[in-house]
Amino acid sequence: MRTIAIIVAALALASVARDASACPAGSPCLKYRRMVPVEAQVTVYRRADRALPPNRGLAAFLTESLWVPSVVVASPRPTQPPRTVRFVNPARISADARRSAERIVLIRQLERRNDTQFVEIDGSFYSLNRCADGARRVTSCLTLVGALPEESMQQQRFATPP
């Protein structure tokens, strides 16, 4: 009698349960794919506080101010508007920095090649240079260059001996 009740209950559950909607055979399964919006690509960041690029102390110069996106590349994919960047020294990161609305970028690689300073952001390099901020205002900008350029050999300043 007990086994008959178990069989009836199993048949009732089987008739109520729906068939799983499987992905079609031989084609990619897009059942669980969701388009996650990514942040738009920025080609130029402008320093919020006006200042000229320094010759020394680049890490301190980057962390002193926010960097605002100026030029954004249009993308066919769904994108979120780019956020303001705050550079942080990895040795001095705090819990407050992680909760801020700005995008936190750790200073990982700073390079100086051919009298130009480069800053690495997410695997791409940006050159630090002067730029105009409105009418006749000069400030600093980070401009996307992609990969690091090769170092050019310095020309000799003295004549080679005979």
The pLDDT, as a whole number, for residue 143 is 93
Structural domain span for residue 102: 38-146
In a domain? residue 30: no
Main-chain dihedrals φ then ψ at residue 160, nearest 5 degrees: -75, 140
In a domain? residue 11: no
Q: How many domains does the chain have?
A: 1
Q: pLDDT tens, 109-120?
A: 998 888 889 999
In a domain? residue 130: yes
- What single-letter amino acid sits at 114? N
In a domain? residue 70: yes
Helix (H, G, I), strand (E, B) or coil at 69: strand
In a domain? residue 97: yes
Q: pLDDT tens, 49-83?
A: 888 888 888 999 999 999 999 888 877 776 788 88
Cα separation values, 148 from 72, 114, 127, 145, Å: 21, 11, 9, 7
Contacts 24+ apart (CB under 8 A), 152-158: 152/114
pLDDT above 60: residue 154: no
pLDDT above 80: residue 157: no
Q: Which two tokens stand for residue 87?
A: 């550079």
Q: For the residues 103-114, what does the mean pLDDT come to?
A: 88
pTM: predicted TM-score of the whole model, two decimal places: 0.68
Measured CA to CA, the distance from residue 71 to residue 143 in angstroms comes to: 9
The pLDDT, as a whole number, for residue 153 is 58
In a domain? residue 16: no
In a domain? residue 105: yes
In a domain? residue 133: yes
Measured CA to CA, the distance from residue 49 to residue 57 in angstroms comes to: 16
